[in-house]
Chain A
Amino acid sequence: MRNKAKWLGTVMAGVMLSSALAGCSGSGNTKTEGAGNAGKSGNAPATDAAAETTKGLDTSKKVELQFYMLGDAPKDLAVIQEEVNKLAEADLNATVKFNYTSWTDWDQKYKLLLSSGQPIDLIFTADWTQYQAYAKSGAFLPLDELLPAAAPELQKYVPTDMWDAVKINDKIYTVPATYKEYVNNGFVYREDLREKYNLPVPKDIATFEAYLDGIKANEPEMQPLSINSDVKTNLMDVFREISDDTVGGPLPYGVGIKYGKPGEVYSYWGSDEQKKDLETIKRWAGKGFFPKNVLNVKDTLQAPVISGKTAAMLGDNPSRYNDTLIKMQASHPDWKLGYTSFAETRGFATPVHPIHNGFAVPRSSKNPERALAFYEKMVTDKRYNQLTQYGIEGKNYEVADGYYKMIGDSTSNGFAREGMNGWAWRNPEFMLFDKGYDGVKAIFDELDKIAKPDIFTGFAEDYSAYQSERAALEQVEKQYFYPLYAGLIDNIDEGVETAMSKAKQAGLEKVQAAYKEQWEAYVAEKGIK
């Protein structure tokens, strides 16, 4: 009996150990589970779709569409969904399920949604969700042939140059938003303090520094500049935008391209230009404009400005500035927030590229035509559009003097303005604005006068040939360049030299050369000079 027990014990132990081992292989495998289907189910609808375009839209079978958007769902989503479904069932014999990823780890979730093979009919795309790369790698269905049959109205509604602008390898993969806005950065600063201490208006790096000096001297308890651990995005990239005339961005792997000379690609990393920028940031760090341990600060940039802990942000876009202003004045009506668009110094602004907001049909979609037909309704049908942008009139909002007005406040109202993050299906004809948005509109009107095209976003980098080097460079940037970006390294020449030698070891030259080649081909193809 004792022997038997021992034998069983061994089996049990074996099983338990295998579970431990399974645990180890987990990170590699669990994520990829089921992805094998992605390809299989992917091909089928594409061919079906091609066959059906000749027949026009077939709505004989009832379907449920899976709609995916980033961010957090509004509280009243279920109510809105029900209303939309009433319309959609009558019009298209379809219902829709609105799904949201929440902002936590949205980038991972987004990748998984596209690679797991789970059926999805519509998904949000943007330059910042890597639309170009995904389109290139075949994650979305080409829409060129689907559009005329499934969504002819939508095809007519979106201008041809916008359809052309979102093309990747000569195919359309996303339906671009038509609302024109600007997301160029501008200095954000406490205007009331500027007036109080008679400081200069920030217009460029020098005046901004003078402003921060004044804050430091007069408000010793205040932190002059709001910055967090993502010093690349929030400090370096913005700094380069105002100071180095970058073509757009963020530019990866230390590549430098100037808007004024788009044909020339140089290495920003290791250049004198970079060293000069880093000197300035080091000086700022030395003056105590931001905390020494900035690499471990996890606040958002806006929160400390709203609460009055910090006085300024190096750069933010007009809409977000307006949002910060409204939130700040909600609790401190006497504070003022100023804004100087970088465009004032740079002399031009670039309206968002059509790629910036869009909706695509993933490969895994089971009903691509119906999905497009539904999306057409969302954009071009006022009932669908206003319902999904502003909620139910009389319950969630009311229209007063042509302005949008929320009923109740953001806690009692279950559907705020653009509560579904419906940036992509905005239709300028049906748009309602909050009174507080007039400030942004005024900025946009100013920028309209000096608008120049965005020549960067249309570029689709294909990094499949150097993705292992790309991953290695990411490490080098975090380990060796971030401390420089945070002004922590005293000897900049030495610091840059170390970082460059590590970057070269990781394959910088190969990656930059490949990027340059692709960029030059793009510039030549589009005739950008």
Chain B
Amino acid sequence: MTPRRGLLRELSANRIMFLMLLPVVVFFIINAYIPMVGIYYAFTKFDFNRSLFNSEFVGMENFKFLWNSGILAKLTVNTLGYNAAFILFGNVLAIFCAILLSEIRLKWFKKLTQSIMFLPYFISFVILSVVVYNLFNYDSGFLNTMLKAFHMNPVDVYNTPWVWVPLIIIFYLWKNLGYSMVIYLAAITGISEEYYEASKIDGANIFHRVWYITVPMLKNTFVVLLLFALGSIMKGQFDLFYQLIGNNGVLYNVTDILDTYVYRSLKVTFDIGLATSAGLYQSLFGFILVMTVNTIIRKINDEYALF
């Protein structure tokens, strides 16, 4: 009974606070929880003439197109692998650049660098795909024109699947680095100057200060960002893959992720049931992943866990 009484007391003691929270809760109930009823679509054969709950219940039938293709495992591995790489490299690189930038004292240079790094974030993947095509296409791409000028053999990037693993990661980082860096930069600014001053007096050099003060102080931000990112780890960067790879089936083995696969399959067969089943699979997988990682983090250090 104690926790319940505790909750009631909490409610009455912080009435105003909870009142302020109310709109947010209502927002999420309406926008995130009520639509979850739609999950039921995954188990029905939707009929235009009948409503959702009157449509025929077909059990796991809709999930069959995911298993039947026999490539679900590959898709899952690709999706997870790319996202893991995005999260890991993205964060490490962002922290690294944020620290470098925060140590720069020349103000205009710092601002300029930051802006330049931020700019790619505003470039759409459609434009990126055109840029990439002009860099790498076999007949007249920048790369091959260069190679030919140096009398070397041209390479056929668009028919060489393995190259795309690093390429996709690089383009993702190029686009998103500036954005995630800002978050870390803000966290660094929040670290009290006193720590640094004290350490300077104790004779710490710049590497000591970064390693023993900045990095540990960023750990919390890192963990929170990591957990948030994990929630969407089953969601690929659809536009990135869709734009860069498009119809090029040669590259699918290493570049196909769940989102692109589902999009392609359902573009011809529009069926709410099939689409929902794919979405549900992604969500469920993501949910399990977040729960697992959060449990692990809680085991290691309770303070850092999300819940």
Q: A residues near B, CB below 8 A?
A: 4, 7-8, 10-11, 13-33, 35-40, 42-43, 107-108, 111, 114-115, 137-139, 229-231, 288, 291-293, 295-298, 363, 463-464, 467-472, 474-475, 478-483, 488, 505-507
In the assembled complex, B47 has its CB within 8 A of some CB on chain A: yes
Say whether A36 contacts B265, CB under 8 Å: no
Interface residues of B (CB under 8 A from A): 10, 14, 17, 21, 24-25, 28, 31-33, 35-39, 41-42, 45-55, 61-62, 64-65, 68-71, 129-130, 133, 136-140, 156, 158-159, 227-228, 231-232, 234-235, 245-250, 252-253, 256, 259, 261-262, 264-272, 274-280, 282-283, 286-287, 290, 306-307
CB of A20 within 8 A of CB of B139, answer no
Q: Is the CB of A295 within 8 A of B48?
A: no
Contact of A18 among B32, B234, B266, B279 (CB under 8 A): B32
* Nearest B residue (CB) for A26: B279
Contact of A474 among B42, B53, B264 (CB under 8 A): B264
Q: Are A29 and B49 in contact (CB under 8 A)?
A: no
Given A467-B271, A474-B269, output 18 extra A-B contacts at Cβ < 8 Å: A11-B21, A15-B28, A17-B228, A18-B32, A20-B228, A20-B231, A22-B32, A23-B231, A24-B283, A25-B36, A28-B276, A29-B279, A33-B38, A229-B247, A293-B137, A293-B248, A468-B274, A470-B268
A39 touches B286 (CB 8 A): no
B51 contacts A472, CB within 8 Å?
A: no
Instruction: Judge whether A295 and B249 touch: CB under 8 Å.
Output: yes
Q: Which residue of A lies closest to B259 (CB)?
A: A27
What is the bound-complex CA distance between A6 and B278, given in angstroms?
A: 37
Could you say which of B37, B133, B276, B306 contacts A13, with CB atoms under 8 Å apart? B306
- Are B31 and A22 within 8 A (Cβ)? yes
Shortest Cβ distance from residue A145 to the other chain B in the assembled complex, whole angstroms = 17
Tell whether, in the assembled complex, residue A137 and residue B48 are in contact, meaning their CB atoms are under 8 Å apart. yes
In the complex, the answer to whether B279 meets A363 with C-beta atoms within 8 Å is no
Q: Establish whether residues A115 and B48, one from each chain, have CB atoms under 8 Å apart when the complex forms.
A: yes
Residues of A within 8 A of B232 (CB): 20, 23-24
> Would you call A295 and B278 a contact (CB within 8 A)?
no
CB-CB < 8 A to B129: which residues of A?
Answer: 296, 298
Contact, CB under 8 Å: B249 / A21: no
Specify which chain B residues have a CB less than 8 angstroms from the CB of A471 in the assembled complex: 65, 69, 265-266, 268-269, 274
- In the bound complex, residues from chain A placing their C-beta under 8 Å from that of B245 are 296
Given the known inter-chain contacts A293-B139, A475-B261, please indicate yes or no for A37 contacting B282, CB distance below 8 A. Answer: no
Does B269 contact A463, Cβ atoms closer than 8 Å?
A: yes
12 contacts across the A-B interface (CB closer than 8 A)? A10-B307, A14-B306, A21-B290, A31-B275, A35-B272, A295-B246, A298-B130, A463-B269, A468-B64, A478-B247, A478-B252, A482-B247
Given A21-B287, A474-B269, do A7 and B274 touch, yes or no (CB 8 Å)? no
Say whether B282 contacts A24, CB under 8 Å.
yes
Residue of B nearest to A229 (CB): B247
Q: Are B249 and A483 in contact (CB under 8 A)?
A: yes
Nearest to A295 among chain B residues (CB) is B248
- With A23-B232, A474-B265 known as contacts, the answer to whether A488 contacts B159 (CB < 8 A) is yes
Where chain A touches its partner, the secondary structure class is helix
> B291 to nearest A CB, angstroms?
10
Tell me which of A17, A37, A472 contacts B306 (CB under 8 A): A17
Alpha-carbon distance between A5 and B283 when the two chains are bound, in angstroms: 31
Least CB distance, B14 to chain A, in whole angstroms: 7
Q: Which of B31, B272, B290 contacts A17 (CB 8 A)?
A: B290
Interchain CB contact under 8 A, B69 and A472: yes
Which A residues touch B269, using CB under 8 A?
463, 467, 470-471, 474
Q: How far is the CA of A42 from the CA of B51 in the complex (A)?
A: 9
User: Closest CB of chain B to A14's CB: distance in Å?
Assistant: 5
Output the residue of B61, B69, B159, B271 with the most chain A CB within 10 A. B69
Q: Is B68 touching A467 in the complex (CB atoms < 8 A)?
A: no
Partner of B250, one of A21, A298, A488: A488
From A13, A21, A32, A108, give the contact of B41 (CB < 8 A): A32
Contact residues in A for B266 (Cβ distance below 8 Å): 471
Are A27 and B275 in contact (CB-based, < 8 A)?
yes
Contacts of A38 in B (CB 8 A): 48, 51
Which residues from A are CB-within-8-Å of B248? 229, 293, 295-296, 482
Given contacts A24-B286, A296-B133, A298-B129, contact A39 B51 (CB under 8 A): yes
- The reply to whether A467 and B264 contact each other, CB–CB distance below 8 Å, is no
- Chain A residues within an 8 Å CB radius of B61: 468
B139 touches which of A291, A463, A483 (Cβ 8 Å): A291
Q: Is the CB of B28 within 8 A of A42?
A: no
CB-based closest 4 A-B pairs: A28-B279, A22-B32, A468-B65, A471-B265
Contacts of B17 in A (CB 8 A): 8
**Chain B nearest CB, measured from A478 CB (Å):** 5
Residues of B within 8 A of A33 (CB): 35, 38
Contact residues in B for A139 (Cβ distance below 8 Å)? 48
A475 touches B71 (CB 8 A): yes
CB distance A15 to B24 under 8 Å? yes
A480 to B25, CA, bound (A): 48
- Across-interface contacts of A464 in B (CB, < 8 A): 45
CA distance A11 to B234 in the complex (A): 25
Please state if B32 and A19 are interface contacts (CB–CB under 8 Å): yes
Residues of B within 8 A of A40 (CB): 51
Question: Which residues of the other chain, A, contact B271 by a CB distance below 8 angstroms?
Answer: 467
- Report A84 CB to chain B, min CB distance, Å: 29
Residues of A within 8 A of B49 (CB): 39, 42-43, 138, 363
A53 to B159, CA, bound (A): 62
Q: Which residue of A has the minimal Cβ distance to B42?
A: A28
Q: Kindly report which residue of chain B lies nearest to residue A43, judged by CB atoms.
A: B49
